[in-house]
Amino acid sequence: MSTKRSSAPEPGEGMLVRTEKLKAAHGRAYIEFMSRAYTMELDASERYAEFADQMEVHNNVEVAELFRKLAAIEGLHASKILEEMGWPRMPEPMFPGAWPTEPPESAPVTELHYLMQPYQALELALRSEERAELFFKRIARAKSTPPEIRNLAASMAHDENEHKRLIRAWMKKVPRPDPDWNRDPDPPVLGD
């Protein structure tokens, strides 16, 4: 995830210097925004890792590997935010209970099916990126958001749009599932 700003940096100004300027100018609002962005990315990474584990349990290795790749990508986005903020680790949450249901970039657990195919896993990821893009666009458009944070949110929305483009390109490389993709002649049975 890129967190570049639309305003040009001063000559010789590094990422941490710009971050410190934003922290000084916007204090808690900036830190809270970046905390939310980090939480979204980390949660998405953890959810994809959970999905990979579930697919492995059902011996759906191809989709498990795809979810592991998605988890790694989202983990990199989270790490970039920690790096930009100069945080060795995430600070204590500033906004407990901020998400009414799931964080915007997390795929709902109810969307997972043990027979899903790579195309469907990518569709799930695409919907997650769409929700994340909308989340950042709302912040960027809010008049109550400080201008620098609006610029940052717009940049992050742009990044999420780029992620959508990459996922759509990836989807073109995998076959679409057959209409009866979820038919299992020997479905799993829960034991006593």
Q: Which long-range contacts (CB under 8 A, 24 or more apart) does 172-181 make?
A: 174/117, 174/118, 174/119, 174/122, 175/117, 175/119, 176/119, 177/116, 177/117, 177/119, 177/120, 181/115, 181/116, 181/117, 181/120
Mean pLDDT value across residues 113-117? 86
CA distance 139 to 154: 8
In angstroms, how far apart are the furthest CA atoms of the chain?
A: 68
Mean pLDDT value across residues 26-36? 79
pLDDT tens by residue, 74-107: 999 999 988 888 888 766 655 545 555 678 888 8
- What is the model's pLDDT at position 22? 58
Cα distances (Å, whole numbers) of residue 67 to 174, 178, 183 = 14, 21, 22
The answer to whether the pTM exceeds 0.85 is no
CB 6 within 8 A of CB 155: yes
Residue 140: pLDDT band with limits 50, 70, 90 = very high
What is the percentage of the chain residues whose pLDDT exceeds 70?
Answer: 79
Domains of the chain: 15-171 (1.20.1260.10)
Query: Does residue 125 or residue 102 have the better pLDDT?
Result: 125
- What is the model's pLDDT at position 73? 92
- pLDDT averaged over the chain? 80
Residue 188: pLDDT band with limits 50, 70, 90 = confident
CA distance 86 to 90: 10
